[in-house]
Amino acid sequence: MSTRNRELLNLGFAAIVASAAFASVSIVDTGLVTARWLGYVGVIFGLYLIAHLVARFTVPYADPTLLPLVGLLTALGLTVIYRLGPDDARRQAVWIALGIGLFAATLFWLRFDYRVLERFKYIFGVSAVVLLLLPSLPKIGHRVNGVNLWIKVGPLQFQPGELAKIFLIIFLAGYLRDKRESLARGRLKDLGPLLVIWGAAMLVLVQTSDLGSALLNFGIFLAMVYAATGRLVYVGVGLTLFLAGSAALYSTLGRVQQRVTVWLHPWTDQKVYCSINGKLDFRQNCDSYQLVKSLYSIANGGYGGTGLGKGTFKTVDGTQLIPYLNTDFIYSAVAQELGLIGAAAVLLLFMVFVARGMRIALIAQDGFSKLLATGLTFGLALQTFIIVGGVLRVVPLTGITLPFVSYGGSSILSNFLMLALLMLISNRAAATAVNR
């Protein structure tokens, strides 16, 4: 069977699973067994069919599992978002459509050779830093929940950090391919650019007070440096610098400080200072409210979950229990309704994606492609770890999205861009192998 036919088959499997999820939510929602949900499934499956046809035309040899995996993750995310608020789901569906549009456009544009990107690596590098700093600029910057992550131009809101991440990976892939020989030899003067990047990361951290995105970008950077040079000393120095920098800034970054306190001691037996209203209260009723309520939500799922559409996310008077449930905390909704089995299955989907992505990096022929695939794949894994780990109290909680699952336009668009790049790399690697 050809690669693309396998992709179509996989998409069919994904559609069956997604249909079951849609049907379940629809039945719980209306109390009736109707075929209304078939319409929704049809629209989403149609979109992915278009993506598949574009891939058939542009990247015939590309990995056949990535697109179905993404299809399943977005459909699952959409189901949970619909269950939490149908209006958001409609918007999310539009974003998925736009994301597939971006995916198709990228494939068309770069179908002959994506390696032209390498030529513009410095433009990507500078753009990444600018994009990261944009939200902290006056006028267009928009502060949400104490973190500068958004820009607002007229009615449009955008989270440029998501795009910046991809630009940064493209830059690093190009730059490290250039310098990996000299870096591997460990010449001190080549450390300069690394220090510049570290400085930029610190600057971004101070400007946005967003530990999550700083950690994500710096982690991707370190992973790529290691992949390029094979020298652990860079990772060690980098981590030390990052930790030292964060520690030095710790006392001035109230937000970060609070997040760490909440992480270490979410529950208190005595009333403590509450930074939200300035009064004394138990921390679980105040600063760590979100985290604690989310843990209750996850725990409520148990092994099998409450079932899609049957979880408890509101109090009896209809107020939302967990703020930002369909973005940062979507995992705790998934974990409650699908239980350990379902949540682990979602994480396994991510693991399959990561395995396929890393395989692409392994079979790619040139250094740029290898580093690009490594960076993109590791970025996905690390981002998943930071947000889900934050929700699970493995690491301090920072607000970033769960790729392909969370509600949010910027996130969906940039993740489809990532998917397009991985498929381009994969296509080229497989095509070379076939032609040889």
Partner 1 sequence: MNRQITQVAGLAMGLLIALIVATTYWQTWARPALAERQDNAIQRVAQFKIKRGLILSPSRVLARNREKQVGGQTFYFRRYPQGKLAAHVVGYSTAARARTGLERSLNPILTGSARSLTSLVDQALDKLNGKPIVGDTVVTTLDLNGQRTALGALGSACGAVVALDPRSGKVLVMASSPSYNPNDVERNYGKIERIKADCTPASPLLNRASQGLYPPGSTFKVITASAALQSGKFTPTSTFVDPGYCTVYGKRVNNFDTGRPFGSLSLATALQYSVNSVFCNIGLDLGARRILKQAKAFGFYERPPLETPESERLPSGLYKGGRLYDPRRDRDVDPGRMAFGQERLLVTPLQMAMVAGTIGNDGILMRPFVVSKTVTPNGKTRSRTRPTKIRRAVSPATARDIAAMMVRAVQAGTGTAAQIPGLEIGGKTGTAETGVAGNNTTWFIAFAGEPGQKPKLAIAVVLQNQSLTGGATAAPIARQVMQALLTPTANP
Q: What is the DSSP string of 152-175?
A: EETTEEE-HHHHHHHHHHHHHHHH
State in angstroms the smallest separation of the CB of 152 from partner 1: 30
The one segment of 11-19, 99-107, 150-158, 312-320 that binds partner 1 by CB under 8 A: 312-320
Which residue, 201 or 228, is less far from partner 1 as judged by CB? 228
Dihedral sign (CA 149, 153, 155, 158): negative
230 near partner 1 (CB under 8 A): yes
227 near partner 1 (CB under 8 A): yes
> At a CB cut-off of 8 Å and minimum separation 6, what does 249 contact?
202, 205, 206, 256
297 near partner 1 (CB under 8 A): yes
| CB-count exposure of residue 243 (10 Å: 0-12, 13-18, 19+) | exposed
237 near partner 1 (CB under 8 A): no
378 near partner 1 (CB under 8 A): yes
Which residue, among 176, 273, 274, 262, has the nearest Cα to 226 in the 3D structure?
176
293 near partner 1 (CB under 8 A): yes
What distances in angstroms separate CA 396 from CA 40, 266, 270, 420, one per listed residue? 37, 11, 22, 31
343 near partner 1 (CB under 8 A): yes
2 near partner 1 (CB under 8 A): no
Which residue, 149 or 228, is less far from partner 1 as judged by CB? 228
SS3 310: coil
Helix axes 367-391, 160-185, angle to 10 degrees: 130
302 near partner 1 (CB under 8 A): yes
State in angstroms the smallest separation of the CB of 358 from partner 1: 4
354 near partner 1 (CB under 8 A): yes
What distances in angstroms separate CA 59 from CA 99, 109, 368, 414, one per listed residue? 17, 12, 18, 19
Which residue, 46 or 323, is less far from partner 1 as judged by CB? 323
SS3 320: strand
Which residue, 106 or 336, is less far from partner 1 as judged by CB? 336
Per-residue contact track with partner 1, 392 to 411, x per CB under 8 A?
A: xxx-----------------
317 near partner 1 (CB under 8 A): yes
Which residue, 40 or 48, is less far from partner 1 as judged by CB? 40
29 near partner 1 (CB under 8 A): yes
Which residue, 126 or 355, is less far from partner 1 as judged by CB? 355
State in angstroms the smallest separation of the CB of 238 from partner 1: 14
SS3 139: coil
101 near partner 1 (CB under 8 A): no
Which residue, 5 or 285, is less far from partner 1 as judged by CB? 285
Judged by CB under 8 A, which of 344, 365, 433, 434 binds partner 1? 344
The radius of gyration computed from the CA coordinates of the chain, to the nearest angstrom, equals 22
Which residue, among 64, 58, 48, 54, has the nearest Cα to 4 in the 3D structure?
64
382 near partner 1 (CB under 8 A): yes
Counting residues that bind partner 1 (by CB under 8 A) gives 60
Tell me which residues in 357-376 interact with partner 1 (CB under 8 A).
358, 361-362, 367, 370-371, 374
Judged by CB under 8 A, which of 72, 132, 295, 397 binds partner 1? 295
Judged by CB under 8 A, which of 355, 365, 433, 434 binds partner 1? 355
What is the rounded distance in angstroms from the CA atom of residue 101 to the CA atom of residue 257? 41
Dihedral sign (CA 335, 337, 340, 343): negative
Which residue, among 15, 41, 95, 78, has the nearest Cα to 308 in the 3D structure?
78
Identity (one letter) of the amino acid at 248?
A: A
What is the rounded distance in angstroms from the CA atom of residue 335 to the CA atom of residue 162? 25
As given in the structure block, the two tokens for residue 356 are: 């396929």
Kindly list the residues in this chain that would bind partner 1 in the complex (CB under 8 A): 28-29, 31, 223, 226-230, 267, 282, 284-285, 292-293, 295-303, 312, 314-318, 321, 335, 339-340, 343-344, 347-348, 350-351, 354-355, 358, 361-362, 367, 370-371, 374, 377-378, 381-382, 384-385, 388-389, 392-394
